[in-house]
Structure 1
Amino acid sequence: MYELIAIQDRSRWQKILDKLQITDIYYTSQYFLGALKLDPGEALLFTIKMMMVRSLTLLSKG
């Protein structure tokens, strides 16, 4: 199962980061909101869940 989360859904975005125990600033929605001011586009969080493993990728399209 996969899920694409738009940056506007900040609470869901943060919930995924918390669940995966990711604390790196570069994965936060706040970082991407600032980055989008310099390079406009759309930031998406792409997550895949397979059995007991979850993968996370950040996408920027614009």
Structure 2
Amino acid sequence: MWPQAAAERAEAIDRRIRERDRLPPAGAPLAVKATEGLRSLQTARPIAAGCVPVGATSTSAPPASPSASS
């Protein structure tokens, strides 16, 4: 969880709304895929539209491949 960063982002969104910016998803919480990060295109677009990233999801390790010799 990123409580401090989320609060700062939410305050920035509030300022933009007061300035009459149209942000349809304004304030919607966004969980970021841990392997993508905040700079990925999939994350940057919703953030630019007003979503607030609140934390990263956890991803499990890929399953071990079966051994060729059994």
Larger radius of gyration: 2
TM-score (norm 2): 0.33
TM-score (norm 1): 0.36
The structure richer in strand per residue is 1
